Amino acid sequence: MRYEMGLSARSSRDYAAELNSQQYAAVTTDCRRALVIAGAGSGKTRTLTYRVAWLLDQGVAPWRILLLTFTNKAAREMLRRVEQLTGKPADQLWGGTFHAVANRLLRRHADLLGYRPGFTIMDSDDQKALMRSLVKQHAPREGRDRRFPKAELLIGLHSLAANTERDRRDVLAEDYPDLERWAEPIEQIFDAYAERKRQSNCMDFDDLLLNLLRLLREHADIREQIRQRFSHILVDEYQDTNAPQEEIIRLLSGGPDSQLMVVGDDAQSIYSWRGANVQHILSFGQRYPDASVFRIETNYRSVPAILAVSNSAIAGNTRQYRKELRSARAAGSMLPAIIPAPDNRTEAAFVARRIDELLDGGMAGRDIAVLYRAHFHSLDVQMELTRRHIPFRITSGLRFFEQAHVKDAVSFLRLLVNPRDEVAFRRIVGTFPGVGDATAAKLLAAWLEVLELRQREHPGETSVPVPHSELFGGIRVSAKLKPHWGAFLSLMDSLHPQGGTLTPSELVGLVVSYLTPYLHSAYENYEERADDLAQLSRTIDSSGNLDEFLAQVALLSEADQEVPEDDDCVTLSTIHQAKGLEWKAVFVVFLGEGMFPNRRVLEAGDLNALEEETRLFYVAVTRAEDQLYLSYPRYNGRGGDRQYCPASRFLTSLPPELYEVWEIC
């Protein structure tokens, strides 16, 4: 295949003046293989965009440059900056996500893999719809009654196998051992899933990578054509690559004239749970012995005191490229603060009060963030901010009480307090296998009819004074639904406030036990959902009584309407979602041992997982520009479910001269 020759060099730009010395060395290198270790806040995007501009100014034709990123937003931003730098349109550059680039290449060559022209790409909703139909078709009848895994969970299993290039049965045994008893029907479903996609001439997102990889491996002529087209390959966020992406990079850059530059930070590799492998960046020099390594360590984001904490936090990791971030900024007015709080409610009250003070002092809400390891760590902060009428936006998904599994649990409590709560009833019976809208409506009508009869016989009753199994046991249900209906009524009998002997926390505990099989089959991250419900139990115990708690939930949900993007709101986010972002003031909460680092990581004794937890803490700390607050509750919960919570090792390992302790009551 014939390609255009490069353009003649023409540039009056003074790269040495516009970049620091470490950035300049990376941008202008002529080495064939380059690994750029760009520390947090060191201008990674600037380095990559200047590298593209440099190549263009050296006469490289734009269509010979391939820029691979992890988000469309990152690709658009880099191409926009290249246009600003060079004054040349960037539309001839190949820039985009791995999936977008794979799609472009497969459009030209998918016929070699057995696809017809015009293949379509399935989105996540398409995947779920197809997988659900296959589960209905292939799950054993007795399996459906025993909570056969749901479509969403199977999609997660299938995707993890694809993104790690592991055999599906190995993934099932190692990552989903509780599902092994269904190994045969699960494999049948996956085989049927692949066949239905072939018949429909469709690919899902994982197929885009796997099919490009197959094209490059099996068709040497196409591989060489692509290599000849792209003389320079640049990869952003290299520490986040999974197995197929790493192999695609290797195959694309394997030509005799190919130049490869990968940019990343091993200290910010935090996505192993979705297939990313930090070993790719750590072993780059072994796979490419001729590679040069460039370190960019000047940080333009954080004040020196915050960088001192981040450098100390990551120092103990054994697997890393050693680096020392240095601040380009002047010293700030305060050291990072460690705040031991008596309990989780007091911790949340401190965070909300301090945010109030910052807002009163003139700081914008958009410049403040509360970060956490797990979503349930934000529950008390959400409630405190709502009480104080401080607007906030959650960027890490739904607010706590909007999550499906939390709504499921709360629905039982709502129905206990108000047996005529139609929304709660429909939600509960919706967790029964095979119950759709029509069946739910019939059950609701029968339920309300029984209540109406009871009301006529006993005027003035506001609750159900007799066991639910006695009152509602006569409702006719199908043989398939009978065991689930019976289990539901038995649970409601257990929850029944006869004598008021159960605490709100004990009520939630019974609901969680009932829901556990459903959660296990419905959600890939079952253990995290269980943690959410455990925190719900502790929170409800400290809220007073059940009526008061449900009122708080309703008020919080009312405040949970989506906030417009341009509103001045405090950000609440998991640390995983906060990567790449920055704020003037950052609060990292629930820094207790077993909370962060995660209890399951500690129990497993996995050094690699613990080092990833350390990297996650490092990412959290390096989001802060001016002020950093690190807090933990000495006790989580109140009353009978109170748990002692010692300070995280991430705090106790810090030299005391790096921080100040704020004692609160």
What local confidence, expressed as pLDDT, does residue 117 receive?
82
| Residue 283 DSSP symbol | T
> What CA–CA distance (Å, rounded) separates 302 from 332?
9
Q: How many CB atoms lie within 10 A of CB 249?
A: 21
Query: Which amino acid, one-letter code, is at 358?
Result: L
Confidence of residue 430 (pLDDT cuts 50, 70, 90): confident
| Residue 598 DSSP symbol | B
Give the tokens for residue 407: 């709504």
Torsion, CA 443, CA 445, CA 451, CA 455, rounded to 10: -170
Query: Which amino acid, one-letter code, is at 127?
Result: Q
**Res 366 pLDDT > 90:** yes
Which candidate, 121, 134, 589, places its Cα nearest to that of 339? 589
Confidence of residue 218 (pLDDT cuts 50, 70, 90): very high
Confidence of residue 256 (pLDDT cuts 50, 70, 90): confident
Chain position carrying tokens 């959902």? 529
Mean residue pLDDT of the chain comes to 87
Which candidate, 366, 357, 306, 298, places its Cα nearest to that of 332? 306
Binding site residue list:
38-45
The H or E element spanning position 416 is helix 404-417
> What CA–CA distance (Å, rounded) separates 262 from 233?
8
SS3 (DSSP) at 60: coil
| Residue 177 DSSP symbol | G
Q: What are the tens digits of pLDDT across the range 597-618?
A: 999 899 999 999 999 999 999 9
Give the tokens for residue 285: 């020099």
CA 6 to chain centre: 42
Which candidate, 130, 8, 135, places its Cα nearest to that of 434? 135
Return the higher-pLDDT residue of 502 and 383. 383
Query: Which amino acid, one-letter code, is at 16?
Result: A
Q: What are the tens digits of pLDDT across the range 92-146?
A: 889 889 999 999 999 999 999 999 888 888 888 888 889 989 998 888 865 444 5
Give the tokens for residue 14: 């003074």
> What CA–CA distance (Å, rounded) separates 108 from 123?
21
Query: Which amino acid, one-letter code, is at 593?
Result: E
Say what percent of the chain tops pLDDT 90.
55
Binding site residue list for ATP:
38-45
Between CA 179 and CA 189, with CA 185 as vertex, the angle to 5 degrees is 105
Q: What are the tens digits of pLDDT across the range 157-216?
A: 999 999 999 999 999 999 888 888 899 999 999 999 999 999 889 999 999 999 999 999
- DSSP lists the bridge partners of residue 371 as 573, 588
Confidence of residue 91 (pLDDT cuts 50, 70, 90): confident
| Residue 228 DSSP symbol | H
DSSP E strands, 521-594: 570-574, 583-588
Query: Which amino acid, one-letter code, is at 320?
Result: Q
Say what percent of the chain tops pLDDT 70.
90
